[in-house]
Copies of this chain bind each other. A is one copy, B any other.
Amino acid sequence: MTIHEIADWLGGEVIGKNIDDAPDIVRVAKIEEADSGSLTFLANPKYEKHLGTTRATAVLVSRKTDLKKNIDRSSLIFICVDDPYAAFLHVLKRLTPAIEVFSDGIHPASVISPNAVMGKNISVGPHAVIGEHAAIGDNTKIGAGCIIGNYAQIGSECILYPNAVVYHQCKIANRVIIHSGAVIGSDGFGFAPKPDGTYEKIPQLGIVVIDDDVEIGANTTIDRATMGDTHIHRGVKIDNLVQIAHNVVVGEHTVIASQAGISGSTKIGKYCMLAGQVGIAGHIEIADHTIIMAQSGIHRNIEEQGKSYFGYPADEARKAQRVYAAMKMLPDMVREVTALKKKIEEIDKGFTKK
């Protein structure tokens, strides 16, 4: 596509010299990796330094960007749009040749129970297993080696990548994406201690319910409830290697980054953000719109909405940041307090003597 074609398609404004001589845009690339024929974008001011050196043919920038200092680079062309990153994604999708990831239809090397209820236009990869009385909705793709347990239900237009596992009876709604190695519905970690210090397994008889438009990362584990259900509400996005324990509830449109863990029976609100490696204790509630920063440990209820938390154990982010900043002064303070103590003793001695 030419620069003008792209700008027209995006509704953007072109700024630059020799636009008609510029090469066609044949690919998109990050600003530091772009070369001639590439379109790139500038959304984060942190990357502005690359404007002086990028070898891209054109850069998508915000209409609000001050181009004066960069406009003298005769070879660089700007396309000004409202949201450069969104515009970039549109071009990315348009220029990337789509490849088929899933094959059409039911592979003969899969095993589908005769009493499974199968919708239309389903893809089932080789060595996938659909259990007894399971149900799969229209247009859903079940990757190679996926195992769908007995009585499990999966809605329409879902994508399960290879080797994902859904245990018996779990219910997955529509347009859910589950990445490879994710395990949905394994037993909750529940054991009743016996007087002799050993444990008796508590039967885990509930299920996992996953609502529409959820995405679940690779090797993430979501345990079935002891009874009732572990419930992931619609629009939730979960990264890789996340642990969701039994009877947890995750509210709508919450995002959970990699290696975070949520202990049993905890309720996470809507529109929350849990960063990487966060740990959350069991049997607590986290209010809507809460942000929890990386590696933080939350051990009690968060009742007020829309606050950020940080630290181990976590506190409100502003408080915690003051504490962690003060921590760095600690060795100096120890020295100072010792010095003050000595000084006071001297003063006191002198004072008393008198």
| Chain A contacts to B: CB under 8 angstroms | 28-30, 33, 46, 85-86, 89, 92-93, 96, 99-101, 103, 107, 109, 111, 125-127, 129, 132, 143-145, 147, 149-151, 161-163, 165, 167-169, 177, 179-181, 183, 186-187, 189, 191-192, 197-199, 201-203, 205, 215, 217-219, 221, 223, 227-228, 235, 237, 239-241, 243, 245, 247, 253, 255, 257-259, 261, 263, 271, 276-277, 279, 281, 283, 294-295, 297, 299, 312-313, 315, 319, 322-331, 333-334, 336-337, 340-341, 343-344, 347-348, 350-351
Chain B residues lying within 8 Å of A261, measured Cβ to Cβ, are 241, 258-259, 276-277
Given contacts A326-B334, A340-B341, 19 further A-B contacts (CB under 8 A): A28-B227, A89-B192, A89-B202, A96-B227, A100-B150, A103-B132, A125-B129, A129-B145, A165-B218, A179-B183, A179-B187, A183-B218, A189-B237, A189-B239, A240-B243, A276-B279, A312-B312, A326-B331, A337-B337
**Least Cβ–Cβ distance between A119 and chain B, in angstroms:** 21
**Least Cβ–Cβ distance between A13 and chain B, in angstroms:** 22
**Least Cβ–Cβ distance between A344 and chain B, in angstroms:** 6
Q: Give 9 CB contacts A-B under 8 Å.
A: A93-B203, A100-B132, A180-B186, A223-B240, A240-B243, A243-B258, A258-B263, A259-B261, A336-B337
Contact B336–A329 (Cβ < 8 Å): no
A201 to B215, CA, bound (A): 9
Contact B276–A259 (Cβ < 8 Å): no
Chain B residues lying within 8 Å of A29, measured Cβ to Cβ, are 227-228
Chain B residues lying within 8 Å of A347, measured Cβ to Cβ, are 344, 347-348, 351
A197 to B254, CA, bound (A): 9
Contact A219–B219 (Cβ < 8 Å): yes
A177 to B191, CA, bound (A): 13
Chain B residues lying within 8 Å of A198, measured Cβ to Cβ, are 235, 253
Contact A101–B344 (Cβ < 8 Å): no
- The residue from B99, B111, B186, B344 contacting A107, defined by CB atoms under 8 A apart: B111
Chain B residues lying within 8 Å of A163, measured Cβ to Cβ, are 145, 147, 163, 165, 181, 183
Chain B residues lying within 8 Å of A277, measured Cβ to Cβ, are 261, 277, 279, 297
- The residue from B99, B205, B281, B340 contacting A92, defined by CB atoms under 8 A apart: B205
- The residue from B28, B111, B150 contacting A126, defined by CB atoms under 8 A apart: B111
Chain B residues lying within 8 Å of A101, measured Cβ to Cβ, are 149-150, 167-168
Contact A331–B337 (Cβ < 8 Å): no
Contact B336–A331 (Cβ < 8 Å): no
Chain B residues lying within 8 Å of A328, measured Cβ to Cβ, are 315, 319, 323
- The residue from B217, B237, B295 contacting A279, defined by CB atoms under 8 A apart: B295
A127 to B229, CA, bound (A): 29
Max chain B C-beta neighbours (<10 A), residue from A85, A218, A324: A218
Report the 8 A-B pairs with minimum CB-CB distance, sorted nearest first. A147-B162, A186-B218, A183-B218, A326-B330, A221-B240, A111-B126, A165-B180, A243-B258
